[in-house]
Amino acid sequence: MDRVIRIGAGSAWWGDRIEPAALNAERGELDYLCFETMAEATVSAAQVRARRDPSFPGYDTWLDDRMRAVLPACMRQGTRIVSNQGWINPDGAAQRIVHWLRELGFPGVRVAAVNGSLITERVLGLTDRILENGQPTASLASTLISAEAYLGAEPIVQALREGARIVVTGRVADPSLFLAPMMHEFGWDPLDHARLGAGSGIGHLLECGAQVTGGYFADPGFKDVPEPWNLAFPIAEAHADGSAVITKLPGTGGAVTLQTVREQMLYEVHDPASYITPDAVVDFTTARLEQIGPDRVRVSGIGGKPRTATLKVSLGCTEGFIGEDMFFYAGPGALRRARLARRILEERFRIVGLDAEELRIDFLGLNAIHGEATPVGAPEPYEVAVRVAARTRSREEAMKVGREVDAMAVSGVSHTGKRVPHQDRTREIIGVWSSLVARDKVPATLRWFQS
C-alpha cells in the first residue's frame, strides 16, 4: 500500500504571516507542520541583538504568536511540529514552547531541542578559507561575531524517532526541516542519496512557503494570481518513493501550477544538476512535473547524489555602520529640485568631513536600482524620494547623514518634504561570509523538555 504523509509549511522566513500557518494547522489534516524562520544573516543579527540587550532570549521573536496560533489544532489532531525557531538558543525556544503547551492545557508533550550548529568559539580552528574571496578565515578573527554550520535532517530524525512531538533547532538547512519527516516516516537511510535527494528537492519546494502557491510570482497581465492577498502556504502529499503532490487548502488565494512550481524549483539554485544540501546533492534536471488537478502538481524524478564530506558555515562579522535617511519632492520640477538637493548634500558632507567608504544619493523611482545603467532620457517622475546612505567605519560618522538631512528642512531647497526622524537612522552592518567544515567536526546534540 502506498503510504502518504502530509507535510505543511508554516513559514518561509522570520517575518512571514502567521494566519496561513494557522489555517494549515486547523484545516490541512497534516502529519507535520514545519517552520522555516531563518535567513543568512538571522543568527548574526540575533547575536548583535543579544550583545546589546541581555534580556533578548535569542529565539524567533514571533515564536509566541506562532505557537499560540497553531498548537491547539496541532495537538488535537496529532500534527507534529518541526521548526528552526531556536536561532541561537534552541533550548530557550523549547522551554518557551513547553510554557505554551502548559498554558493551553496540553501536558506530557515531549519537545526536543537540537543544538550543535553554533561553532563561533572554535570555527577559526575548523575552517581554512573564505569561499567568496579565498582569504584565510583567520582574517575575520577581529570582526567575527557568529558562526553557524548548516546541519542536516539526521538529528531531527533522531528526535522524532525518540518520541518528540515538537522539534526545535538552530541553523538547519531549509530543505532538511521538511526532509526529516519523510526520512522518519519512510525509514530512509541517511546515505540513500537517491531518496534523500528527492526528498530534499520536495523540501526546497516547500521551504519558501507561499512562493510555490503564487507568492513572489504575480506579474499583472502576464502571470495573474487569484486573490494574492489571501495566499495559502503549501502542503506536500509525500510518497515513499520520493515523489509528492504539491497543493494548498481549497478556498484560499494563489495557485499551484506548473509555472509556480518551476519557478520555486529553480529559486536560489546555482546549479540545477548539483544543488548542495547537507543531506544530499539534489539534481533537478531529471524532475517531472504534472498538473493532475486544480492546485495539484505531481513532482517526481528528482535525482540525488552522495552528500559532501563538508558542511557550509556562515560567518557573521561586523563591517561598520550605515547612516540613512530620506526626503521628498512632488509636482512639476521635482527632479530639478532633487538634483540641487543632491549637490547641496555632497558639498555639505565635504564641509563636515564625512569619512565614508561609500556614499549614495539616489532618486527613488528614477535611478535607485539601476544607478548608472538608468537610460538617458528616462521619463521625468512627478514626485521624487531622495534616499541618502553612507557606509562608515563608526556610528559617529554614520550619524552625520541624518544631521545633514535634517538641516534640509530649513536650509535646503524649496518644497522639501521631510520626515520627522523618530526612527533610528544608523544601523550596524553585519557581513556574512562562507566557509566549509568537516562534517564530523560538528556533532549535533539533543536536549529534552516536557510539558
Per-residue pLDDT band for 352 (boundaries 50, 70, 90) equals very high
- Cell 515523489 -> residue: 243
Per-residue pLDDT band for 2 (boundaries 50, 70, 90) equals confident
What mean pLDDT do residues 364-389 have?
A: 88
pTM above 0.85, yes or no: yes
What mean pLDDT do residues 299-319 have?
A: 96
Q: Higher confidence at residue 416 or residue 44?
A: 416
- Rounded to 5, what percent of the chain is helix, strand, coil? 35, 30, 35
- Cell 573564505 -> residue: 130
- Cell 502538481 -> residue: 297
Please answer whether residues 188 and 156 qualify as being in contact, where contact means their C-beta atoms are separated by less than 8 angstroms. Answer: no
Amino acid code (one letter) for 271: D
Residue 359 has pLDDT above 80, yes or no: yes
CA distance 69 to 19: 8
DSSP letters along 429-451, please? EEEEEEEEEEGGGS--EEEEEE-
CA distance 254 to 260: 10
With pLDDT > 70 as the criterion, what percentage of the chain qualifies? Answer: 99
Per-residue pLDDT band for 149 (boundaries 50, 70, 90) equals very high
CA distance 367 to 46: 33
Question: What pLDDT is recorded for position 411?
Answer: 92
Question: What pLDDT is recorded for position 1?
Answer: 61
Beta strand pairing call for 166-169 and 235-239: unpaired
Please answer whether residues 168 and 111 qualify as being in contact, where contact means their C-beta atoms are separated by less than 8 angstroms. Answer: yes
Question: What pLDDT is recorded for position 45?
Answer: 84
Average pLDDT, the chain: 95
**pLDDT tens figures, 72-90:** 999 999 999 999 999 999 9
Domains by residue range for the chain, with CATH: 4-116+151-308 (no CATH), 315-433 (3.30.70.2750)
Residue 422 has pLDDT above 70, yes or no: no
Weakest-pLDDT range from 78-87, 297-306, 362-371: 362-371
**pLDDT tens figures, 259-282:** 999 999 999 999 999 999 999 999
Please answer whether residues 339 and 331 qualify as being in contact, where contact means their C-beta atoms are separated by less than 8 angstroms. Answer: no
Q: Which of these, 116, 142, 155, 168, lies nearest to 313 by C-alpha position?
A: 116
Q: Higher confidence at residue 429 or residue 173?
A: 173
**pLDDT tens figures, 200-212:** 999 999 999 999 9
DSSP letters along 381-407, please? PSEEEEEEEEEESSHHHHHHHHHHHHH
CA distance 209 to 235: 9
- List C-alpha distances in Å: 259 to 128, 191, 197, 219: 41, 32, 22, 13
**pLDDT tens figures, 248-258:** 999 999 999 99
Question: What pLDDT is recorded for position 237?
Answer: 98
Question: What pLDDT is recorded for position 377?
Answer: 82
Q: Higher confidence at residue 423 or residue 216?
A: 216
Weakest-pLDDT range from 13-17, 40-44, 120-124, 442-446: 40-44
CA distance 322 to 44: 17
Q: Three cell numbers at 319?
A: 563591517
Residue 38 has pLDDT above 80, yes or no: yes
Collapsed DSSP state (helix, strand, coil) of residue 357 = strand
What mean pLDDT do residues 283-312 have?
A: 98
CA distance 324 to 331: 24
Task: Characterise 253 by phi-psi region: left (phi > 0), alpha (psi -120 to 50), beta (else).
Answer: beta
Residue 215 has pLDDT above 90, yes or no: yes
User: Helix and strand tally (H, E) in the chain?
Assistant: 11, 19
